[in-house]
Amino acid sequence: MVFSSNVFLFLFLPIFLGMYYLSGNRYRNLLLLLASYIFYAWWRVDFLALFAGVTLFNYWIGLRIGAAGVRTLAAKRWLILGVVVDLCVLGYFKYANFGVDSLNEIITSFGMQPFVITHILLPIGISFYTFESISYIIDVYRGDTPATRNLIDFAAFVAIFPHLIAGPVLRFRDLVDQFNHRTHTVDKFAEGCTRFMQGFVKKVFIADTLAAVADHCFALQNPSTGDAWLGALAYTAQLYFDFSGYSDMAIGLGLMMGFRFMENFNQPYISQSITEFWRRWHISLSNWLRDYLYISLGGNRGTAFQTYRNLFLTMLLGGLWHGANFTYIIWGAWHGAILAIERLLGVNAATRVFNPLKWALTFLLVVIGWVIFRAENLHVAWRMYEAMFSFGDWQLSELNRASLTGLQVGTLIVAYVVLAVFGLRQFYSQPLGEKASKAEAAAPVVVTTSGGALALAPVLAMRAALLLLFAASVLKLSAQSYSPFLYFQF
């Protein structure tokens, strides 16, 4: 089940919210857990057992670490066991096929018979719930949160359906108080509805429309320079509106249930360095990689070379986390190398002066990275890069012109206008690193505000426009057969 589906909008969500608000506070976490398991089982019932097993295992490991004591040798042994088992489960389902295929390429080149194994299906959301489980047991070991004895609350944290499939990557220590005490108000529910509708419009109206452009350009066997750049720019916008749209919907659903999740995007395409980009893009994952991988590797506590190495390895492993493909590894290495270079050069990642040249260079580096991130394999990526930087024929190929519609062109233009306007607005109105307000940077469709009567009319007009766009998006969704989120594959 996905948020952008009629089953979710008109069956699952209204039934769940009705039962949620009719039940007492004592039973809401249990109801949330059961609903989340139904949400997950809608895809495949058999993988629900794996999901529940991982949850129970990490709950038990947390209790063992807590009983052993903060940072004790016994606690460290329990932690190592927990992390190793979690990574083995993730590695088997996510990387076994890739490992066997890579090994077969090597041994067949020597004339040997390849290994034959049954294709292993990747459980959806496994990367996210594994990372959240690992963060919990590490936090217990470090003493950042006590080991919980409430299995229902812990299981609901891991399974909570708004963020289950594609994040944000949440931490138990940040939500434990909300599981025990959270407020349910009309204002918070209305804010959640607004945020959900924003994300829905971003996903269905913009991302889904641009998906066809990107897919067609990347599928061309002999793309022109114009085809390649069109595909790269279309995918750059598609990925942002798709993933930030999902995050908006997840945050909105959380608000409807009284939770306030962290922001996951902060206008990343306004960044003037790759370091700044990773403070604005997929913030929850960036923070996770920093706190549980980069710091564990040594962070910046060693020599300058060790710091650069740790930055590079963190992003390399972050790329591998996205999928079992050499394209993701190279994408992670690309960003890791640039981060190390920027640290070496002492790049300011929180500048308050907008420099068009720095922005253009950063955006170019991001787009170049997205090409290999999107490509099915290295051959497709090379074909796109070769066309992009041959600077040959800037005209679109006949195949591309025949498939491109006015709606797609208009949507691409609107997408970049929205990115520019709201990106610059955010840049000049809020210092980087300052905590985002209710519906700040990730929401370019509508912005909450406060003020007197003069401010009320524009706000009402924008909300009315959002409601109309949401209704139109629902109609568009009903007309198309399927609307998957890009990050479901990770």
Q: Provide the annotated active-site residues.
A: 322
For residue 33, give the amino acid letter.
L
Closest CA to 433 of 278, 279, 319: 279
What the block records as the tokens of 237 is 């916008």
| Distance, CA of 184 to chain centre | 27
Closest CA to 439 of 422, 456, 415, 418: 422
Secondary structure string (H, E, C) spanning 337-391:
HHHHHHHHHCCCCCCCCCCHHHHHHHHHHHHHHHHHHHCCCHHHHHHHHHHHCCC
Dihedral angle sign, alpha carbons of residues 460, 464, 467, 469: negative
**Do 227 and 383 contact (CB within 8 A), yes or no?**
no
- Count Cβ neighbours within 10 Å for each residue of 19-44 and write b for 16 or more, e otherwise: ebeeeeeeebbebbbbbbbebbebee
**Do 372 and 207 contact (CB within 8 A), yes or no?**
no
What the block records as the tokens of 322 is 């996205």
d(CA 365, CA 314) in angstroms, rounded, equals: 19
Backbone angles phi, psi at 147, to 5 degrees: -65, 125
Distance between start and end Cα atoms, the chain: 16
What the block records as the tokens of 137 is 């047991």
Closest CA to 343 of 315, 365, 311: 311
**Do 277 and 298 contact (CB within 8 A), yes or no?**
no
Kindly provide the residue ranges of all beta strands, DSSP E only, lying in 250-299, ordered along the sequence.
none
Instruction: Give the long-range contacts of residues 379-383, CB within 8 A, separation 24 or more.
Output: 380/218, 381/327, 381/330, 383/221, 383/223
**Do 164 and 128 contact (CB within 8 A), yes or no?**
yes
Closest CA to 182 of 157, 164, 200, 161: 157
Closest CA to 213 of 192, 183, 239: 239
> 225-256 and 186-201 are packed helices; what angle lies between their axes, rounded to 10 degrees?
160
d(CA 465, CA 413) in angstroms, rounded, equals: 19
**Do 35 and 24 contact (CB within 8 A), yes or no?**
no
d(CA 387, CA 223) in angstroms, rounded, equals: 6
